Amino acid sequence: MPNESTVLIYGTNLGGYRAAYALGKRGHKFILLNRGSYVDEEKYQALAQLPLDFCWICGHMPQRAFKASGAMQDCYNAQLLAVSGEAGHFHVKFKKRDKPVNNFACTECDQCIEVCPVEVGEGKAIRVVPEAGWENCYVIDFEHCTRCGACEEVCPTGALKVERPEEVVEADVGAILLADAFEEPSDDDLRDFGLGQGPSVIRNSEVARRSLLTNFVRDSVRLPSGRMPQTFAVIVTPHFNRPGVEYENYNLSVSAIYRAIRLKEILPEAEVTVFLHDYRGTGKGHHQWYMKALDAGVRVERAETLSVVPDETVEEAAIHYTSLEGESRTQSVELAILVTGQSPPSQMEELSRLTGVQADENGFCRLRPFSCCETDVDGVFAVGELTGPKGNPETVWDGCAALTEMQRYLGEKNVAPGAAPSLRDVAGEPTRVGVFICSCFGQFDDRMDLPGLVERARALPGVSHAEIIEGCCTGPTIQATAERIKESGVNRVVLATCTPLQKKGKYDKAVMTAGLSPLLCEYLRFREDVIQVHTDPEGMLMKSLALIRGAVEKVKRGRHVSPLVDTFDGRALVVGGGLAGLTAATEIAANGFPVVLVERENELGGQTKYLDEEQREYVKGLISSVNASDNIACYTQAKLGQVEGYAGNYHAVIETPTTPVSVDAGVIFVATGAQESLPQGFLYGEDPAVMTQAELAERMKGGETADHVAMIQCVGSRTPEVPYCSRLCCNQALEHAILLREQGAEVTVFYRDIASYGKTNYYRLAKEAGVSFIRFPGDDVETGYPEVRRNGAGLEVVSEGESHPADWVVLSTGIVPDAENNEALSELLGYPLDYEGFFSSDISNYPYEEAIKKLTKPFELGSNGIFPVGLAHSPRSFEETILTAKDAVGRALVVIGKNKMPPPNKMFVAAVHESLCMGCGVCVDVCPYGARVIDEIERVVKIRPFLCDSCGSCVAICPNNASYLQDFKGEQSVAALDALLV
Amino acid sequence: MPEGATSSAFASERLQINQGAEETVRELLRSLLESGKVNAVLALGRTGGPSGGVAYSLFRDPEAFGADGDALPLLPFMPANAGGLLSRLTLEGPVAEPVAAVVKPCELRAFIELVKLSQGNLDNILLISSTCGGVYPLDMGIDGSLEKKLPTYWERMEQGELDDDVRPTCRACESFVPEGADITVALLGEADLDTQCTLHLNTERGAAFAGDMEGTTVSGKRDSEALERSLDERKAFREELFAGVGVGLKDLIHTFGRCIGCHGCKTVCPICYCRLCYFDSQNCERPAGFYEGELARKGGLRVPSDTVYFQLGRMAHMAISCVGCGMCTDVCPADIPVSTMFSKVGAAAQAVFDYQPGRDVTEEIPLRTFEEEEFTEVAT
Amino acid sequence: MSEEREFVPKIVYFMCSWCGTGGAETAAAHHLRYPENVIPSRVNCTGALPAVHVIRPLIEGADGVVISGCHPGDCHYDDGNFRARRRVALVKSLLDTLGLEPERVWFRYVAHGEGRRFVDTAAEFNDHITRLGPNPLKTRSDT
Amino acid sequence: MSDNGIVLAAEDGVEAAFIGWLKETLNKNIFDALLIPVGTPAGDSFAYLLLQEPAILDSASPLPPVMPVQGGKAIGRLTMRENPSKRIAAVVRPCEARAAIELSKLEQAHLDNVCLITLDCPGVLPLADYLVDPVAGAARFKEASAQWDRSPMRPTCQVCDHFSLRQAPGCDLHVGTLGCPDGTAVVVAGSSKGDHVLEQMDMGGQDEDEQADFLNTAVTDWGTQVEQVEEAQTERRRQAQEDLREEIAGAEKLLGVFSSCINCHNCQRVCPVCYCRQCYFESAALKLPAENYLARAERKGALRFSPDTLLFHIGRASHMALSCVSCGACEDACPMDIPVGQVFSLLGDRAQKALGYVAGTSLEDPLPLVSYEMDELHEVEQPYVEVYPNQEVQDA
């Protein structure tokens, strides 16, 4: 019996969303079990992690499309009851109670709120949770609700049922994905920081929430009294909190820094101090962010211990802390912002009872070794915060990595792509525009004079028909509208309804059912632009008319075109045969796609000298499975000769020792790795007792040890030349330090910031083991670093004038990109390097962008089918390297091998009037997706429809309108614009 | 041209008004706009204030035709060929409500020609023209000398003569009596233009629109001696003018030697209606190899190339429909007598087919060589 | 003053399909109000707005033009808003050189969640233009 | 600019000497062909000729008194689709070379095999003035340019501040005559391409050092003179542009300036950097139904027709001002004597300043609108830090 194809997703953390996105796009059904009562109740936890002060992830997740295609089954107030069976054939039982308001039927008319008799605070017992972002989420406050049912009666679409029955549902699924979300520490966990004890202490997540609602303006930090604070403390609580209460993901100190910078932006005069123990920004661009804060005049105070005592009445809080030097200080601020970590997941016990997954010593979900997401139980996966304190990029990568890892348990895709509608070409017909004005089930009637508007609309030149419709957002009304369009015999349609941002799909469905291409139609945000925001009847009429006039002018000049399609090659090219490359190759091959693996050296495996035994074994295993696979063609001592084409259609030539081989591929994985940076100075190379961590590891393996060992961190990292944190050095150094301690050595670590991260808190362990730490002011690279001197027989490390004798000096050197190779490859692939010299992510110039874009953009737009993985992308640990590879594979699996794909996201894309195109190439330069190329023979631009997201940059830069968007041509735009102003 | 030909354009009915021609026309247009009989009027008018220039405008506000309004309907000046403008106005379809246009005979002919080429639509267009005494060259519109000239101009018009300073093209124009106008304002050779005015109401539409004007309706054949005389003079001048320019290849090369390739002649030509001129299209963008090949044959060649090719080609395309309006000469920055050459060639071609461009909208154009250059792909 | 009160400017508000439009919708969701004479015009991305489309309304009847796209780094298309910023700088430079009041063009980022910021921008710009008075070009017949 | 160079000396004038030198390059097979202005058959004007017959050079004129066709456009037409296979030397004025460089950035010219040779430029006469009486015109030009007197030249030339290699460094070879004793000129290389040519031409023979000293003094004299003139010109330009802005700024004055425009679009057609086959402002985008025109006429009381005159000029500026090289070709071609060249070079200068770009001075600088910096132009971002006290919102 074939395996089940559906996946159960428990919880909605970012990883869960990402997985759902990928599964839906790939064509697997999924069940979203949401413990909360609406779409993403944990949004604010997400915000707390993503200090961008906004998050639109749920908006980018095409829930409506998935719902429509039957891919998604979303369940609320859900609770998992039982899990039986095994991987590939799980039988799950859960209960759920749908939320009172069904988003997908709700038209957001607010009548329920108007009729609700129960006043609660400023609102009613049923209210909108605006924080829910992309669409308003109507929530009933059952504490106060009297169940009078008034709202239910008034709801025009029957979307609202106050009492929903609790249902018990059973389902067969192939795999289970545990994605329970980030949980913030409770107020009690934070009592040492005075939370809840006075007006002047607040969580960062709360500031983020207020920022979203007050639009990043000063109000987000205004004190209850209405006063604007002038002194701020931003405190990274996990650095000072009791052990085991909260855990830190490595983004946290960046969150603090980012908040501080934001404060400086809106209150340039304010005094902002960031309290932390160490700055632990180990991700892309994080060091630059730190330097930016210093430039912005943010004070960064490092403390050993810290507590906050707020004044209960006066808006003031006293920060008591001891400096690293041990002297205790006190600072008084008007507002203390707590950047909190995450508590261990509350659901672990329950989950292990149901599924058999195990918790680790810290209470997070345990994963099997060398797996990114798979738990001890076959077919049960866990992603993101559930598995430990994680930063967003990793959480998001988990999502796709899960897709990769669960493939082997899943059956065939079980979501059939919808059939293409048959549209009629209206060319030659006289233009007949129909204007359909939505009354939103009658509720607009008393807001403005719709019949009057219809009259005026009908009188517009070119309009042959105008009428009021009930709506176009529910099954019946969509059908009805389609009917009316047919009957009225129009061949152009203007729909004055509400937000196409959410409902375009529905409107498209209506017009296409009526046989018209969306190119012949325009959707107006009648509700958002007129009804909900204005009151003056005359003004509303005028504005509505202007909008309709513009739309009419636009559709009058619309032309029917059939959507473009493109094919996507089902083969993959992997450059680099190290851990990342091997992982990518094996995973892709495992899914039945041919792979070509290119390795520069004469054997696979990459740099193994830094690996421990298990890791070496793991790599060996990969190599043998590569050799065993019939799907993988492997070329050693080979390199990429030339590459042409674009995502889905690459043509590459590989230079091998014998003859060049030409290869076609849909995607390319760049896994060319990086190098250990070799230290300058510090007597390295001059004195055998000065060594790198890698060399230390070798010596320790050889059983050597020493009495006094000094370690110097950040050697060749976070400098002007190497402007980033190499991420791995701290954990590695601390591991070594602990081992040395166990062998009785005195270990002193000279550091700028200890940026250890991850599940095991090596920092704490090291301290407990008695490793001594001495900070040096490394922000000043010139003078701050310690100096290594010969001292008689031994060595001494001199930091800030003090001498510390040492037998060994171990330098924690960073990881540097293989500049030469990377530049050549970057040139060849036309894929950018970032300012750090690694291969850039899709877009990662801003912190956390990476997370959001990776989540929200199908790769084929962002990275043109090229995936930097492992060390080629950024310094990564062994496990993280595997993760990046599997994430990339997961993203590739979404599209690879698909044929005749319409362009992503849009039915229609940019196009070119070739007889007008001068081939000047400015549009090629500005196209963010490499979706255009100059045909050297014809000297005109050609479109690669698959890559085009129809952003229109090409249209704006093209001086003579040779470039145009099929759904908004040049000759439409001016006419429409003029019409607005009549 | 047979005896009395010039008057054949007139219907027998005409309206005599005791008011200067200028006032009459202004009054007529003002009332038409005020009464809403016409939706707009296309006529010349001042732009950029008193010190500014003159351009055609679509007037909606009746006041423009008031005593000190901006409109200058009878100004002997032609900043653009209004035939082309009418085509632009009605390119996408007829105007919904009547629009009046005050145009010169050559502009009228151009519009008729364009309608034949389905580049415009006559419906609802009220054509008002006049017996034309020619217009002054563009550069006289710049330095203000035009203003000074006007008294002389009208004086000589009353005497049925042309001022020597009007464009040579006009002095050589044989078709100065409009055909197919709804209303013709009699100007050339009319006495007392500042107190008297005769409107020929050639069509029912004309009669309908001008009906309300106060005046006496007169019918019966009208002596057109002055017009005949002017025709003879102009014929004479025309022969002179044509004799002055050669149109052999050598002459062309010489005359067009100083062409700067701006193609302004094409742009302002009302008959050149192509969206994208063949000679501006890819077909005439040569690869470097072409020049190198040419170079191998000749010692040297001109870059950009195709100067004479363009002129000859354009002739082939439009000479048959050339209405001899003279815009091309007027606009040429290199002072090339383009119009003279084109009229000369055009006249010959038209004679072959006994075809007079723009005379009658029902008349077929003998040969059309445009279509191939149309770029349907960029059509809207 | 009284004259000012009578004058109701015509304002075109260009907003991108993502953040700008989102801001407008969030505003609507919160039932925030802004002046009716601010007429929204949607473009996929501010980077897709040709300079001519900013100039055109100023000649053909608008008293002012606002452009709102995503905050730096948030552009749905990566860098459209940066390109838009350059184009706006160009347009403002041209208008300034020709003495055509560059202050009639505003460029302000508005994020999807920023309903309040959106209506504030609409209202603030409306007041700003009202103070500035009618755009002399829009009534000129000889443009 | 490299120190490589030679001194041209000839008793019968620089022009003759330079032409002789050019012939030499043909004979020595350093170039396969030359692109250079030559008198027209009727002898009343000049046109760019592509030639390989040294003999034809006798009728050539490296610095003709007028600029009937902008050399950049000529180079563009010649190489717009591909690099020529022959090695071509183009003898043009500095502004023409700059236009060619802009065009090559726009893929409308391919300069790999083209050697741009420029000369110190005294300006050119207005085309119309010249054509009235070419003979007199030529004489007037000869006399004026002999004393570097720009007063009879075109207004844009009178205030040109890019007349020599120093301000237009993009070219490969440059002939400097300013400040050189009569009958002499320096030929200096602006690029490695130019260097290479000079090396090939170097006859050697004479005493190297002596030659070098001679050259150095000549080049220094020239350089200082160029600097002095530049200073003066920059000031004149600043002044002229200030005055011009006075005359055109503001709706009232501006519409006065363009009031006599007849929409012939000659300015766009002759503009070397307006490279579009069909201009946006002649495209379908602006061909609108009658309702549109009538509605606009309604609003404005009347609508100038053809419409969109002002939109054409400002809009065109938005397309090309950043690449404008102030060559003044547009003004020459305007039948209505509108100071369009002066207006556009003013727009160009200020726009280029705003975006930190100088048109046509380097092949490397990216075009301003295809590139951007993350951290720039914050002055155009409308700041927002406080909630706006907004009556409308309070009502809600």
CB < 8 Å to B377, chain A: 913-915
Residue A942 and residue A912: Cα distance in Å, rounded? 7
The C-alpha atoms of residue B380 and residue B92 are separated, in whole angstroms, by 10
Rounded CA gap, B55 and B78, in Å? 8
Comparing CB atoms, the residue among D48, D309, D337 nearest residue B302 is D48
Instruction: Give me the residues of chain C with pLDDT under 70, please.
Output: 1-5
Chain D residues lying within 8 Å of B253, measured CB to CB: 41
Amino acid letter, residue A953: S
| Helices A500-513 + A475-488 axis angle, to 10 | 50
Q: Decide if pLDDT at D393 tops 70.
A: no
CA A691 to chain centre: 39
Q: Is D242 left (phi over 0), alpha (psi -120 to 50) or beta?
A: alpha
Chain D closest CA to A966's CA: distance in Å? 14
Q: Per-residue confidence at D98, pLDDT binned at 50, 70, 90?
A: very high
Chain D's closest residue to B295, CA to CA, is: D51
Contact D255 B80 (CB under 8 A): no
Beta strands in A249-404 (DSSP E): 271-276, 299-310, 317-323, 328-333, 335-339, 380-382
- Are residues B333 and D266, on separate chains, in Cβ contact within 8 Å? yes
Task: Render the burial of C97-112: b for 16+ CB within 10 Å, e for the rest.
Answer: bbbbbbebbbbbbbbb
Q: B250 to chain D, minimum CA–CA distance in Å?
A: 10
Contact A17, A855 (CB under 8 A): yes
pLDDT at D22: 93
At residue A172, φ and ψ (nearest 5 deg) are -105, 125
- Joined together, the tokens standing for residue D6 give 């030679």
How far, in Å, CA of A142 to CA of A140, rounded? 6
SS3 assignment, position A80: strand
Please tell me the distance from the alpha carbon of residue D168 to that of residue D171, in angstroms, as a whole number. Answer: 7
**A235 pairs with which residues across the strands?**
A275, A338
Between the CA of residue D279 and those of A858, D68, D265, what are the distances in Å? Answer: 37, 21, 9
Q: What pLDDT, on the 0 to 100 scale, is given for residue B266?
A: 94
Q: Considering CB atoms only, which of B96, B281, B378 is closest to A913?
A: B378
Chains that touch B (3 or more CB pairs under 8 A): A, C, D
Q: What pLDDT, in 10s, does the model give residues B284-302?
A: 898 999 999 988 888 789 9
Residue in A closest to D294 by C-alpha = A982
Search chain A and give the residue with CA nearest C120: A215
Contact criterion met (CB below 8 Å) for B279 and B259:
no
Vertex A132 angle, CA A131 and A136, to 5°: 105
Which residues is D249 bridged to in the sheet? none
Give the residue ranges of chain A where pLDDT is below 70.
38-62, 129-136, 212-218, 418-420, 841-863, 899-907
Touching check for C141 and chain B: CB below 8 Å? Answer: yes
For A928, the closest chain D residue by CA position comes to: D370
pLDDT at position A722 is: 85
**Least trusted range by pLDDT, from A775-784, B168-177, D82-91:** A775-784
**pLDDT above 90 coverage of chain D, percent:** 71
**DSSP symbols for A404-452:** HHHGGG--S---PPPPPPP----TTSPP-EEEEEE-TTTTTTTTS-HHH
Kindly report the nearest CA distance between residue D246 and chain B, in angstroms.
17
SS3 A393: helix
| d(C-alpha A289, C-alpha C79), whole Å | 20
Closest CA to B325 of B50, B132, B125: B132
DSSP run (H or E) holding A32: strand A30-33
Interface residue C142 vs chain B (CB under 8 A): yes
Between chains, do A920 and D107 touch, taking CB under 8 Å as contact?
A: yes
Please indicate whether, in this complex, the C-beta atoms of A918 and D106 are within 8 angstroms of each other: yes
Q: Is D318 on the interface with C (CB under 8 A)?
A: yes
- The candidate with the shortest Cα–Cα distance to B280, out of D396, A164, A223, D283, is D283
Residue B6 has pLDDT above 60, yes or no: no
Instruction: Give the chains touching D; criterion: ≥3 Cβ pairs < 8 Å.
Output: A, B, C
Contact state of D294 with B286 under an 8 Å Cβ cutoff: no
Distance, in Å, from the CA atom of B330 to the CA atom of B139, rounded to the nearest integer, reads: 8
Instruction: Kindly report the number of other CB atoms within 10 A of residue A549's CB atom.
Output: 26
* Residue B171: per-residue pLDDT: 94
Q: What is the reported pLDDT for A844? A: 40
Q: Which subunits have 3 or more CB–CB pairs within 8 Å of chain A?
A: B, C, D
Is A533:C119 a contact under the CB 8 Å cutoff?
yes
Which chain B residues contact residue C143 at CB under 8 A? none
Asked if the Cβ–Cβ distance from D253 to C99 is below 8 Å, we say: yes
**Which H/E stretch holds residue A256?**
helix A252-266
8 Å CB contact of B48 and C141: no
Rounded-to-integer distance, Cα A495 and Cα B190, Å: 61
pLDDT for residue A850: 43
- In angstroms, the separation between the Cα of residue A821 and the nearest Cα of chain D is 24
Q: What is the 3-state secondary structure (H, E, C) of A890-912?
A: HHHHCCCCCCCECCCCCCCCEEE
Residue with tokens 């390199």, as numbered in its chain: A639
Q: How far apart are CA D294 and CA D282, in angstroms?
A: 19
**Which is it for the CA torsion D269, D275, D281, D282, positive or negative?**
positive
Summarize the confidence of residues D222-233 as an average pLDDT: 92
| CB of A977 less than 8 A from some CB of C | yes
Give chain A's radius of gyration (CA, Å).
30
The verdict on a CB contact (< 8 Å) between C47 and A974 is no
Tell me, yes or no, if B54 comes closer than 8 A to chain C by beta carbon: no
Contact A771, A734 (CB under 8 A): yes
User: In this structure, is the dihedral angle defined by the CA atoms of residues A30, A34, A40 and A43, taken in order, positive or negative?
Assistant: negative
d(CA A585, CA D224): 66
Kind plus residue range of the DSSP H or E element containing B55: strand B53-59
The Cα-based distances of A953 to A793, A928, A956, D65 in angstroms read 67, 8, 5, 43
Q: What tokens were used for A577?
A: 């045969």
pLDDT (0 to 100) of residue C48: 92
Question: At B318, which amino acid appears?
Answer: M
Half-sphere exposure of C123 (CA within 13 A, CB side): 22
Q: Which residues of D touch A973 (CB under 8 A)?
A: 285
Q: B106 or A254: which carries more pLDDT confidence?
A: B106
Instruction: Compute the half-sphere exposure of residue A845: CA atoms within 13 Å on the CB side of its CA.
Output: 12
For D264, the token pair is: 């012939």
Give the per-residue pLDDT at B331: 94
Please tell me the distance from the alpha carbon of residue B318 to that of residue B110, in angstroms, as a whole number.
Answer: 11
Tell me how far the alpha carbon of residue A929 is from its chain's centroid. Answer: 19
